[in-house]
């Protein structure tokens, strides 16, 4: 999924500095968006402790206020989102969404196993200990034991949040703060039958195996390593490869891929690459009867039910082809499904389900399971549709080279959706914008779907807890502009990033796909390219003519935010001394640093120190727009031509290295705000109403206990063995 992701830290910078950047949009469509953007940090308590919450809807005499924020744990905030409009859908559409909901959750364990081969066993161990650990807290006055138990609770929630033992964003391994001795004592206190023991394994043998996996920071320290000069496979803990070196994997696909193909297959997308004892390299496909077959069988069961109540014939065909793909593992069928899915433009409901995004593969071949179930927000879609309808104008007037422009931009379907549930790699941390499919040739010939996850964006905004605007914005003018235009600027950035950003440009004939040519830099370059399209046009009078902005002050607010976030704000996600590796962060820093450096001669962006604090002030917004246009032209050129050396130079020069002095300052300033830098969601629960064995209605419930939802999911959707 070409998508924007978001963290709480980025959310605050986005909402208060004037909207979002790629991955930092956080706004609301309500009339109170200015007040939301200007919210303060008064409701925040210390990190790791539950906090009071801010309502997403006001209380009435009949109904209490909806609580958006439920708790704060370590560097995480747990939120909830509502599903407005669900009750107005037809009974058949509710039934359809329920089947899609069950299909989405049936595949969630796949993501754990893909992230790291021991994840399911670790998670099941922690879940087997959960009840006993809560008893330790409730039934002892020993403060040390309570402290140890609370630390294990925090670790367990972090594993649930990250779909494994590596941080969901940085991909670095995190370890419990409780002692191995406390953990071992708890393991020995529970019924051995509840532990995920392998056949013939004793509890002592189990402890000897699981303890270093959980506690040793040197065991599988990074899920996805992108450090230049390293073997990216042998140094990554991802479960996409087994006993295979980077050189062997690249050689394997060099033999399979036809670079001259006009309809290239997405080789490696749905398989694990392994090498046996005889030295043979081969793929284990993810399909029914193959790897993850038990979970995919359940996904197919629910998709089959969805087929019978599909919104349109086009949706029915797409669902049937998705089922066929899961049964066969045939990547040509995956392409057929994507074409059918893109052509389904009239259905009110929609489903993203599959092995889609390749961020978890250091080589960019294999995709992680994810699902998003939704329906169209008819009113909110008018804004994004206005942009999508003008896609050809934006392409024609782009600063990229003429030979890299699409002569005929086809099939861009743009809408705002209301999310019903997210699963796998899309939860608890979620995208806020989606543009699919990822295959460039399908996008060129058949079009794409671009969406803004409206109710997710609204929930982020309502959970906003303020403070960063006053801390990091330089002038009163900038703060006022941010407070006035934050919501709109963020939404427009996401809209254009997805609708005209990812959909723009074309690759030269006989040049491979970016994952083949740009390799480990492909994702960061692509996100930068889409960001720059949005940034360039945010300061264009065309948006005023379309009626989507009142003035170019909206674009200025977004420029303010983007530069601050790229140069300072996002550094709160990194421990001091670390470099930037995550694709979206690399992209943002690369764009901001490049613009800062190239604009020095004209003082376009000025670094200012006041009262010992660093600020970045934009002095010339039109010249900055010109710089964004220059960089966009270069990113499109290197993408179109497959210029690996140029991509590497940009990312390594501007996107990776961090100024340690500035980093330290940002961490210290941010720490005083007491805001966890990441956020994710407890999912709504769909409950079918049956009469005589037939679903007649579906109700939406909003669980408030993250741990209980995770335990419920693990019981209901346990379809895979400990090791696959």
Q: pLDDT at position 637, please?
A: 98
- pLDDT higher than 80, residue 26: no
| Cα distance between residue 464 and residue 79, in whole Å | 11
Residues across the chain: 724
| Cα distance between residue 689 and residue 456, in whole Å | 26
| Cα distance between residue 209 and residue 567, in whole Å | 42
| Cα distance between residue 356 and residue 368, in whole Å | 6
For tokens 């399908």, the residue is 442
Residue 275's φ and ψ, nearest 5 degrees, are -125, 125
- pLDDT higher than 70, residue 491: yes
Are 370 and 269 within 8 A, CB to CB?
no
| Cα distance between residue 7 and residue 17, in whole Å | 15
| Cα distance between residue 698 and residue 710, in whole Å | 22
SS3 94: helix
- pLDDT higher than 60, residue 448: yes
Beta carbons within 8 Å of 90's beta carbon, 6+ residues apart: none
For tokens 């419920």, the residue is 712
Q: Between 216 and 11, where is the model more confident?
A: 216
Q: What is the pLDDT of residues 613-636, one digit of tens each?
A: 999 999 999 999 999 999 999 999
pLDDT band at 674 (very low <50, low <70, confident <90, very high): confident
Look at strands 271-275 and 281-285 and give their pairing. Answer: antiparallel
| Cα distance between residue 459 and residue 455, in whole Å | 6
SS3 640: helix
Number of Cβ atoms within 10 Å of the Cβ of 575: 9
| Cα distance between residue 705 and residue 76, in whole Å | 15
Angle between helices 143-162 and 706-716 (to 10 degrees): 60
- pLDDT higher than 70, residue 11: no
Using a pLDDT cut of 90, give the percent of the chain over it: 80
- pLDDT higher than 50, residue 355: yes
Are 490 and 19 within 8 A, CB to CB?
yes
In this structure, what is the dihedral angle of CA atoms 9, 15, 17, 22, given to the nearest 10 degrees?
70
Angle between helices 583-598 and 553-567 (to 10 degrees): 110
| Cα distance between residue 397 and residue 393, in whole Å | 6
pLDDT band at 534 (very low <50, low <70, confident <90, very high): very high
Q: pLDDT at position 59, please?
A: 55
| Cα distance between residue 383 and residue 656, in whole Å | 35
Rg (CA), the chain: 24
Largest CA distance in the chain: 76
What residues form DSSP beta bridges with 172? 222
What residues form DSSP beta bridges with 241? 273
- Copy the structure tokens of residue 227: 């450090």
Instruction: DSSP for 535-574, please give it.
Output: HHHHT-HHHHHHTS-SSTHHHHHHHHHHHHHHHTGGGGGS
Residue 165's φ and ψ, nearest 5 degrees, are -90, 5
Average pLDDT over residues 238-246: 98
Beta carbons within 8 Å of 201's beta carbon, 6+ residues apart: 209
CA proximity to 464, closest of 49, 22, 161, 24: 24
For tokens 């999508």, the residue is 388
- pLDDT higher than 80, residue 559: yes
pLDDT band at 61 (very low <50, low <70, confident <90, very high): low
Average pLDDT over residues 311-330: 98
pLDDT band at 28 (very low <50, low <70, confident <90, very high): very low
Domain ranges of the chain: 71-79+102-222+690-717, 377-412+466-679
Sheet holding 76-80, edge to edge: 69-73, 76-80, 678-682
- Copy the structure tokens of residue 342: 């893109």
- pLDDT higher than 90, residue 398: yes
- Copy the structure tokens of residue 535: 């940034």
Angle between helices 476-496 and 8-17 (to 10 degrees): 120
- pLDDT higher than 90, residue 304: yes
CA proximity to 265, closest of 435, 440, 511: 440
- 70-to-7, 80, 366 alpha-carbon distances in Å: 16, 7, 34
Question: What is the pLDDT of the chain when averaged over all its residues?
Answer: 90
Q: pLDDT at position 60, please?
A: 56
Residue 220's φ and ψ, nearest 5 degrees, are 50, 60
Q: pLDDT at position 1, please?
A: 53
| Cα distance between residue 541 and residue 543, in whole Å | 5
Burial of 137 (0-12, 13-18, 19+ CB in 10 A): middle
Q: What is the pLDDT of residues 568-609, one digit of tens each?
A: 999 998 889 999 988 999 999 999 999 999 999 999 999 999
What residues form DSSP beta bridges with 285? 271
For tokens 């909901």, the residue is 101
Are 563 and 596 within 8 A, CB to CB?
yes
Are 487 and 228 within 8 A, CB to CB?
no
Beta carbons within 8 Å of 203's beta carbon, 6+ residues apart: 187, 188, 192, 195, 197
- Copy the structure tokens of residue 2: 């070409």
């Amino acid at each position: 999924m070409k998508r924007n992701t978001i963290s709480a830290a980025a959310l605050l910078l986005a909402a208060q500095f004037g909207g979002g950047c790629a991955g930092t949009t956080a706004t609301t469509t309500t009339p109170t968006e200015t007040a939301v953007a200007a919210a303060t940090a008064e409701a925040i308590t210390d990190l790791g402790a539950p906090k009071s919450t801010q309502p997403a809807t006001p209380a009435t005499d009949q109904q209490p206020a909806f609580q958006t924020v439920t708790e704060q744990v370590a560097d995480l905030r747990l939120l909830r989102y509502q599903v407005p409009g669900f009750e107005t859908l037809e009974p058949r559409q509710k039934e359809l969404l329920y089947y899609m909901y069950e299909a989405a959750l049936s595949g969630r364990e796949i993501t754990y196993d893909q992230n790291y081969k021991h994840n399911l066993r670790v998670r099941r161990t922690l879940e087997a200990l959960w009840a006993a650990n809560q008893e330790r807290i409730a039934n002892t006055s020993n403060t040390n034991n309570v402290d140890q138990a609370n630390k294990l609770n925090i670790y367990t929630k972090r594993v649930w949040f990250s779909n494994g033992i590596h941080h969901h964003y940085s991909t670095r391994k995190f370890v419990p703060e409780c002692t191995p001795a406390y953990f071992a004592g708890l393991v020995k206190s529970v019924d051995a039958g509840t532990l995920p023991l392998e056949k013939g394994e004793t509890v002592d043998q189990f402890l000897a195996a699981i303890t270093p996996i959980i506690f040793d920071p040197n065991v599988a320290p990074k899920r996805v390593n992108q450090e230049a000069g390293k073997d990216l496979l042998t140094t990554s803990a991802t479960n996409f490869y087994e006993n295979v070196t980077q050189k062997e994997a690249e050689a394997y696909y060099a033999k399979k891929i036809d670079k001259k193909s006009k309809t290239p297959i997405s080789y490696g997308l749905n398989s694990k690459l392994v090498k046996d004892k005889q030295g043979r390299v081969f793929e284990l496909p993810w399909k029914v009867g193959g790897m993850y077959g038990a979970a995919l069988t359940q996904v197919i069961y629910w998709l089959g039910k969805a087929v019978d109540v599909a919104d349109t014939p086009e949706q029915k065909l797409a669902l049937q082809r998705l089922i066929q793909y899961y049964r066969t593992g045939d990547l040509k069928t995956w392409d057929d499904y994507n074409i059918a899915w893109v052509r389904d433009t009239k259905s009110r409901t929609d489903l993203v389900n599959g092995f889609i995004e390749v961020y978890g593969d250091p080589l960019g071949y294999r995709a992680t399971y994810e699902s998003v179930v939704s329906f169209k927000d008819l009113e909110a879609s008018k804004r994004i549709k206005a942009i999508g309808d003008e896609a050809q104008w934006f392409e024609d007037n782009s600063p990229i080279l003429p030979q890299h422009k699409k002569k005929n931009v086809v099939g861009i379907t743009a809408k705002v959706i209301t999310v019903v549930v997210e699963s796998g790699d899309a939860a608890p941390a979620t995208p806020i914008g989606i543009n699919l499919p990822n295959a460039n040739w399908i996008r060129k010939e058949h079009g794409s779907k671009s969406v803004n996850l409206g109710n997710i964006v609204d929930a982020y905004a309502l959970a906003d807890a303020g403070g960063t605007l006053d801390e990091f914005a330089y002038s009163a003018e900038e703060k006022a502009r941010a407070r006035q235009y934050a919501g709109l600027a963020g939404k427009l950035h996401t809209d254009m990033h997805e609708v005209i950003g990812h959909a723009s440009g074309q690759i030269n004939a006989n040049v491979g796909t970016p994952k083949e040519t740009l390799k480990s830099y492909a994702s960061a370059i692509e996100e930068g390219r889409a960001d720059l399209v949005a940034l360039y046009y945010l300061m264009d009078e065309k948006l005023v003519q379309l009626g989507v902005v009142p003035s170019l002050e909206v674009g200025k607010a977004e420029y303010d935010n983007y530069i601050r976030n790229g140069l300072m704000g996002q550094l709160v996600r990194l421990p001091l001394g670390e470099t930037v590796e995550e694709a979206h962060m690399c992209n943002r820093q690369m764009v901001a640093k490049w613009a800062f450096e190239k604009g020095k001669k004209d003082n376009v962006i000025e670094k200012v120190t006041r009262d010992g604090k660093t600020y970045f002030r934009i002095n010339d917004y039109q010249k900055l727009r010109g710089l964004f246009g220059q960089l966009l032209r270069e990113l499109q050129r290197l993408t179109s031509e497959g210029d690996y050396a140029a991509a590497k130079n940009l990312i390594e020069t501007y996107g990776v290295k961090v100024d340690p002095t500035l980093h330290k300052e940002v961490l210290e300033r941010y720490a005083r705000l007491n805001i966890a830098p990441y956020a994710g969601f407890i999912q709504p629960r769909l409950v079918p109403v049956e009469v005589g064995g037939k679903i007649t209605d579906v109700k939406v419930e909003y669980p408030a206990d993250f741990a209980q939802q995770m335990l419920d999911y693990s019981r209901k959707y346990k379809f895979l063995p400990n090791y696959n």
